[in-house]
Structure 1
């Protein structure tokens, strides 16, 4: 019986992860039930055994992407270093630039943004990011690392926009260079010396 539960749990997990990867690459419309079953490697009927339908499974997959991104954000901003150092560390994280952000790409999906429930994980994730960034900006200001005239929440929003916009520019050019330029431009605006920057090379999520 325990073994059966484990197999059921494994099937559900594979469905969620397979759907998460499809959403990342194809969006809501491209994530068909057939594609989900093929990507997940599970038998026909498994999806409806564990989920009410496609929308229910998509929401579970979104929540997983949101949880992963939020955990990554919290890990960086709860780590060692000054407020500015943590901001720099987040901007220079290893990322799969040409694939884009698994959460950010959902914000451009018409089916997801039109549904309050499906949009919620995206909204909540960016709220976590903005809060962590704004707190780090305020901390850096208090330590004299950043201009006291900066408004923490607005600066945080601008930095988040640089990352998401950088993804779009990189995908348009099919090159990581536009993303790198956007990140280093943000670091220039923050007054971060070149010697204090970690090299921005190949990225993986």
Structure 2
């Protein structure tokens, strides 16, 4: 598999993600978009997987850890992702939204085109000088997991990759991208 290094997205740093979480948005539209983007950053789901996330994809284990168990839309490979406290808080925030309940959705996900456009507005508001897109969120999750010494097998399962080799290629591309931007 050949890596297109020009298409590698620059992931968010922890401080940039913290800024996104804390920053007051000027309106409800951007607040909702920021919530979806941050959820993706902290859960590692691709945009379409977040859009198709339903209540039946959530479960709680014997230790009380909440999980996403969802087949990836792209590959049908099962993603197994433990939910951190903040993504749980975001799911709770929208749990009683009548429009989402009618649609059976958990989060207010717009079209990918609108999402990417609005994320750029949010980046400008937060003075984040990166080309933020929905896929940057996935890269941000993978990079954070790697920096916290999460085993490649766990990252691979979370990303729903068919093999660890795919994840290793993905992580190598991210490392090369980081080295170019330091």
Q: TM-score, normalised by structure 1?
A: 0.24
Q: TM-score, normalised by structure 2?
A: 0.26
Larger Rg: 1
Structure possessing the higher relative contact order (Cα contacts under 8 Å, 6 or more residues apart): 2
Pick the structure with more helix per residue: 1
